[in-house]
Amino acid sequence: MSAPVLILVTRPVEVEPGAEPGEASRPFRLADVALPQLSVLDLGVTRGDGVFESVRVGPSGSPDLEAHLRRFVVSASLLDLPAPDLEVWRQAFAAAVSEARRRGGDDEVLGVKLVLTRGIEGRGVPTAWVLAQPAPDHTAVRRDGLAAITLDRGYRHDAGAASPWLLLGAKTLSYEVAAAATREAARRGAREVVFVSSDGFVLEAPTSSVVMRFGDRVVSPPAEVGIIAGTTVTRALAFFAERGFETAEERIPVSRLARADAVWLVSSVRQAVPLTALDGRPLHLDATLTAALNAHLGT
Amino acid sequence: MSAPVLILVTRPVEVEPGAEPGEASRPFRLADVALPQLSVLDLGVTRGDGVFESVRVGPSGSPDLEAHLRRFVVSASLLDLPAPDLEVWRQAFAAAVSEARRRGGDDEVLGVKLVLTRGIEGRGVPTAWVLAQPAPDHTAVRRDGLAAITLDRGYRHDAGAASPWLLLGAKTLSYEVAAAATREAARRGAREVVFVSSDGFVLEAPTSSVVMRFGDRVVSPPAEVGIIAGTTVTRALAFFAERGFETAEERIPVSRLARADAVWLVSSVRQAVPLTALDGRPLHLDATLTAALNAHLGT
């Protein structure tokens, strides 16, 4: 497995017309991931104050890149960060992938992370980077699935709409609750979590979206319940629609989730992982359908 | 104002008896805050996965240090981080203060931050540092107060007890909601926020505890409502008790907050700041009492 490629993005946000380009006229540069690159004063670490995206790059590219970039812009806007200069990010992304390909070959599947923080406190200059790494091999878990539990996310399904400062739709660096929930799952003998709202609706998993099959219907919760709008879930629903399933985004009560015929957690880098059990109840795993779904997502 | 002092804590957590001390046999070392010190792979930044404390050091020292250290241990435990080695942290804290005193003199008020992250993903070695900086001059805001608004924190008052993975009692680096709420306050012409639970109880402010006076009673919400147990609030309540007020920790409905005779936001570094208005309603500011409270906290 080749070493991660780090690109520091020195001009990550849109510059006012007429502003001096200054020192950072080169918009990004390759850096050494083995060396420290961040200040302890960076609000990204002291406050989890920043946004990110994780993008899969397969042998044939990254069909979701533009969807990720659109969500990156939305996340930054929800945090009142300056607008990312997408042309710079596209170039930095391409440079990171190109360098990773040079090191690891064209067939390696990559996970590429885009990060934008508010930068050093008081300075008003964001910190930004692109990190391209060989993706972990998720083959086994995609095929064999894993067990999940439901955990209460603590918010009502309408909290995000009523209280935008909760940032429920933003993909921020403040991810500690997701990590803590995953550790709670491990304590209960499971590997994954399906978050549910305090008023009993299915939300999302810590790092993926939830797709449920009920007979010939396949559904996923809408962003309006206070979750991050999935990029991969859109392509997953398209896959099911092409196969003749009825698909929809709709609010699913937990009581209905308990009767699902199948559940997948979908995300960009890990793709679709079938659940083998939910809260101890075994779930049917359709190996053929799951393999086809992953083949579709992996193009 | 003198430059911040950075101490990297290289042996921040308790080591198994008999374990090799290894390279990091010196438990901490002075480092240059102007240089990058953190990896972009550190979970502190990629996931807000870590804990911190902010400790005031006045001319006569830091009477709350042990209370902060106890809370630091609780926060680490809630996050399943290894237990901080408090003897090492005490020494690193003293070294940072000593160096800051050497640079800035003995009368400078310092804010000292202790940070412990989960470290680089997959490596299992925490990252840790102590940062001592001259505290901003909060004199004016302590005297003149500021306006606040209430904002819904989205959780019921009993969410933290029911769902410990929400980490409501831990002082984590995932602080983005607090920052977003403060920006929302600014949009509404206020400087501060009093968070309330979704079922209508007073919680805390983004970086301070709430102390309310109702006639001769002074109260603050208990940690059980899902807030960080304040270190400074204990000493604030003791101040009022010494002055003949009845003091208590109790759940306060928002409807009662709206009838408070006075409200202070108390925290270690900024101390007690009186609110001049809450949701647009002017509040009485007792300048003499506030000054005495701050003199008490500032010892």
Q: What is the pLDDT of residues B125-152, one digit of tens each?
A: 999 999 999 999 999 999 999 999 999 9
Specify burial of residue B227 (Cβ count, 10 A radius: 0-12, 13-18, 19+): buried
Q: Which residues pair with B253 in a beta bridge?
A: B201
Distance of alpha carbon B207 from alpha carbon B39, whole angstroms: 27
Query: With an 8 Å Cβ cutoff, are A166 and B154 in contact?
Result: yes
Going by C-beta distance under 8 Å and a sequence separation of 6 or more, which residues neighbour residue B18? none
Does pLDDT of A165 surpass 80?
yes
Residue A49 is nearest to which of B37, B46, B179, comparing CB atoms?
A: B179
pLDDT in tens, B145-161: 999 999 999 999 999 99
**Pairwise CA distance, residues B276 & A25, whole Å:** 46
DSSP code of A201? B
User: Are the Cβ atoms of B176 and A49 closer than 8 angstroms?
Assistant: yes
In angstroms, the Cα distances linking B173 to B52, B54, B181, B251 are 7, 12, 16, 26
Integer Cα distance of B282 and B40 in angstroms: 46
pLDDT in tens, A245-296: 999 999 999 999 989 999 999 999 999 999 999 999 999 999 999 999 999 9
- Of A160, A231, A151, which Cα lies nearest the Cα of A192? A151
Band (pLDDT 50/70/90 cuts) for residue A60 is confident
Task: With CB atoms and an 8 Å threshold, state whether B184 touches A164.
Answer: yes
How would residue B20 be classed by pLDDT, with cut points 50, 70 and 90?
low
> What's the residue count for chain B?
299
Closest CA to B89 of B135, B59, B130: B130
Q: What does the alpha-carbon distance between residue B272 and residue B234 come to, in Å, rounded to a whole number?
A: 12
Q: Which of B37, B152, B163 is facing A40, going by the closest CB pair? A: B37
Cβ of residue A163 closer than 8 Å to a chain B Cβ: yes
pLDDT tens-digit profile of B159-218? 999 999 999 999 999 999 999 999 999 999 999 999 999 999 999 999 999 999 999 999
In the prediction, which pLDDT does A285 show? 93
What mean pLDDT do residues B49-59 have? Answer: 96
Around A26, how many Cα atoms within 13 Å sit in the side-chain half-sphere? 5
Measured from the Cβ of residue B184, the count of other Cβ atoms closer than 10 Å reads 17
Residue B96 contacts residue B28 (beta carbons within 8 Å)? no
Contact: A173, B129; criterion CB under 8 Å? no
- The structure tokens 């985004």 sit at A249
B281: nearest Cα among B263, B268, B295? B263
Mean pLDDT to the nearest integer, A53-57: 97
- What is the secondary structure of A221-234 as a DSSP string? --GGGT----SHHH
Structure confidence at residue A15 as a pLDDT band (50, 70, 90)? confident
Please tell me the distance from the alpha carbon of residue A263 to that of residue A269, in angstroms, as a whole number.
18
Task: State pLDDT tens for residues B69-126.
Answer: 999 999 999 999 999 999 999 999 999 999 999 999 989 999 999 999 999 999 999 9
B88 and B128 Cβ atoms separated by less than 8 Å? no
Closest C-alpha to A236, from A148, A298, A170, A150: A298
Of A58-62, A85-89, A146-150, which range is least confident?
A58-62
With a pLDDT cut of 90, the percent of chain A lying above it is: 92
Length of chain A in terms of residues written: 299
Burial B42-58 (b: 16+ CB within 10 A, else e): bbbbbbbbbbbbbbbbb
Which of A174, A207, A228 best tests the B interface by mutation, with the highest count of B CBs <10 A?
A: A174
Q: Does pLDDT of B24 surpass 70?
A: no
A80: nearest Cα among A42, A126, A128, A131 = A126
User: Do residue A174 and residue B36 have CB atoms under 8 angstroms apart?
Assistant: no
Tell me phi and psi for residue A113, to 5 degrees: -105, 135
Chain B contact for A172, CB < 8 A?
Answer: yes
Distance from CA of B135 to the nearest CA of A (A): 14
- Give how far the C-alpha of residue B272 lies from the chain's centroid of Cα atoms, to the nearest Å: 13
Tell me the pLDDT of chain A averaged across its residues: 95
Per-residue pLDDT reduced to its tens digit, B239-288: 999 999 999 999 999 999 989 999 999 999 999 999 999 999 999 999 99
Res. B55: pLDDT tops 60: yes
User: Are B117 and A39 in contact (CB < 8 Å)?
Assistant: no
Q: Three-class SS of residue A171?
A: coil
Other Cβ atoms closer than 10 A to B2:
16
- The two beta strands, A217-220 and A246-249, are parallel
CB B126 within 8 A of CB B117: yes
Supply φ then ψ for residue A184, to 5 degrees: -60, -40
Are B176 and A178 within 8 A, CB to CB? no
Largest CA distance in chain B: 62
Closest approach of chain A CAs to the CA of B286, in angstroms? 32
Predicted structure pTM score: 0.96
Name the residue of chain A whose CA is nearest to B128's CA: A40
Q: What is the pLDDT of residue B2?
A: 80
Domains of chain B: 5-135 (3.30.470.10), 140-297 (3.20.10.10)
| Cβ pair B163:A173 closer than 8 A | no
What local confidence, expressed as pLDDT, does residue B17 receive? 66
B120 contacts: CB under 8 Å, gap ≥ 6: B39, B41, B42, B43, B127
Residue indicated by tokens 């010196």: B26
Q: Cβ–Cβ contacts within 10 Å for residue A178, how many?
A: 21
Strand B246-249, strand A246-249: pairing: unpaired
Residue A67 and residue A73 in contact, taking contact as beta carbons nearer than 8 Å: no
Is A35 an 8 Å CB contact of chain B? yes
Give the tokens for residue A133: 């790494």
- Which residues of chain B from 140 to 159 reach within 8 Å of chain A, CB to CB? 151-156, 159
Tokens of A150: 């439901």
Determine, for residues B179 and A131 on separate chains, whether the beta-carbon distance falls below 8 Å. Answer: no
What does B217-281 look like in DSSP terms, one character per residue? EEEE--GGGT----SHHHHHHHHHHHTT-EEEE---BHHHHTT-SEEEEEETTTEEEEEEEETTE
Nearest to A40 among B33, B178, B179 (CB): B33
Alpha helices in chain B (DSSP H): 43-46, 65-78, 86-104, 139-144, 159-162, 176-187, 232-242, 254-257, 287-297
For residue A185, which amino acid is it?
A
- d(C-alpha B75, C-alpha A218), whole Å: 41
CA distance B266 to A242: 59
Give the pLDDT score at B60.
Answer: 85
